[in-house]
Amino acid sequence: LQCRMECRDVPAETLYDVLHDIEYRKKWDTNVIETFDIGRLTANSDVGYYAWRCPKPLKNRDVVTLRSWLPMGSDYIIMNYSVKHPKYPPRKDMVRAVSIQTGYLIEGTGAKSCTITYLAQVDPKGSLPKWVVNKSSQFLAPKAMKKMYKACLKYPEWKQKHDPHFKPWLFPEQSRLPALALSELSLQHADSLENIDESSLAE
Q: What is the CATH number of the domain that holds 145?
A: 3.30.530.20
Return the closest-CA partner of residue 94 out of 134, 69, 121, 63: 63
**pLDDT value at residue 200:** 56
Question: Is residue 82, in this structure, part of any structural domain at all?
Answer: yes
Query: Average pLDDT for residues 163-177, to the nearest whole number?
Result: 95
Supply the pLDDT for residue 127: 63
Comparing CA positions, the residue from 43, 45, 78 lying closest to residue 174 is 43
Q: Which pLDDT does position 87 carry in this prediction? A: 94
How do residues 34-67 score in pLDDT, each as one tens digit? 999 999 999 999 999 999 998 777 889 999 999 9
Residue 160 has pLDDT above 90, yes or no: yes
Domain carrying residue 120: 2-162
Residue 117 lies in a domain: yes
Is residue 186 in a domain?
no
Its pTM surpasses 0.85: yes
Q: Is residue 75 part of a domain?
A: yes
Q: Is residue 189 part of a domain?
A: no
Q: Is residue 105 part of a domain?
A: yes
Phi, psi of 132 (to 5 degrees): -65, -45
How many domains are contained in the chain? 1
The answer as to whether 182 is a domain residue is no
Other C-beta atoms lying within 10 Å of the C-beta of residue 109? 14
Candidates 148, 54, 143; CA nearest to 96 is 54
In terms of DSSP bridges, do strands 113-123 and 95-96 run parallel, antiparallel, or are they unpaired?
Answer: unpaired
For residue 115, the surrounding DSSP H or E stretch is: strand 113-123
Is residue 196 a part of any domain in this protein? no
